[in-house]
Structure 1
């Protein structure tokens, strides 16, 4: 009970931080009309996001980047798209810098190293029927608040953890925040910490190594460290393996998500993804997947646009409290931004939430 009580306190604090973090940075169109107005906007943006002091030369360079990003956000928001952009914490980063720091986790690279996905002999949700028109696992107490990977290519670990937290909560009725750092430090043979990895071998690692530690016991450090058995402790959440969702099949993906959160990969390189604020994302992206995330639901807007609810790992100040809605049911079988290329989910038969090893 002590673990659960501490977790509830942690979630409550996280919600307070989310409310503070998502106070959006607004600007007036008049500020765009002069260099002086833009400089004032830049200074306000730096204060809003508590940016560290930098040299005069670097500040001038970052101001140039900021100006270009302001114009992109402003122009995009004038185009009556299904989504809007905002000047978030990435507004002084070039898209190249952003990709390298936050969307360069080499999912495609690790898939190439491990070979093609094996064709499933079974897909447990193949015959699922009468699916609900919408599902949001956040409202079912199966999704923790958005976390932040920082400048560490550990998205594969965050994606894995979302799916494991989800199926554990569904099976046991208890939502427990689990440790990405445990995977980053200890899952070394098949994945590579802050230099990227895949979700499937992470599921197998959890199965084959006795379970996954709680976040409380093994907190995130934003860097690859030495595997610390003492931090793992004797309280872990276990899984019984994983299954892949048939590739390039959004209908099959829908069946899986109707039953549990699903780990996926997507192309997150785009300028619009960098500054996504709210709405259903319909923007430009490729199917060259480079970033691990997780689908935690699906739905449809009043206008009839279908979407996936995707949990990201760039903190709660990005997007819709750390989530993005991505258009569902597009013509490309890979799904928009490649969401149907790498879907997989963990299996869990036990209804025990935290197993204590003696």
Structure 2
């Protein structure tokens, strides 16, 4: 069959049944896949796994989803095949299992392995091993994204973040400001040269993301609360083509968002309970390129009382991120907002170390 026909065959009927969640390769962005029959492989990865196919100038074919690409090379096969591991959000795993089985594929699992990972396994036409991996417990498999987000800390007065953003107007939130903090502007000027791709963690009202995009960064801003993202999109979504708001949990895999030069966190990390901090560091490190920078702002232990976010010292932040990020810069700061006083904080620039 001609190459032109491969891209058209049954496209409308088959892709409607394929997986809809983006698959992201674990640890790599591109893989060379040896295949014996290019047509069968294209139909499997495109029509069942939901990846997009395109012909390359050198005559090979590639299937991709976001930042992940598989390039097919026709050649004799090893009996064992290779193993490709893809990330999925935990709430999508059982849906993926049902969808793939409905397409006639043999899907094994989910099975649990160390590191709180749930795994589905299947084979492609060349006997290559496909692993679909989600991070979470067995009990998390049956929970919705909203239920999972509700256990990721709570907002003021003990409300879930979803309820908080539905109940409180943006301008009345304690941390609301329509300007970038002066310490961030100083740090960006020295440690984040343009152009660059920047991930904002816990965007909340979305104002900082809009300001950063206006400075010239390509910004993806995430928040666990869908209400926050919906409001930010309404306020800023059409103002800049280089600004995107997405729902995401910073303590879950973020690889589907792509790779970034910089990340910015003004008050997200300091709301995460101690047991979630390791996952935060792991998943942020997974999307920041080596040498990239994380701009982090947290409450300082110099701030009196114990209400609100967790407090930190410079030594504690250094220890938490040790081995993955190194501290380039640290300074005392304050959090502007709608409160009658400005809480004491610490601002950091952390550099992603080589893997």
Higher RCO (CA < 8 A, seq sep 6+): 1
TM-score of the aligned structures, taking structure 1 as reference length: 0.27
Greater strand fraction, Structure 1 or Structure 2: 2
Greater helix fraction, Structure 1 or Structure 2: 1
TM-score of the aligned structures, taking structure 2 as reference length: 0.27
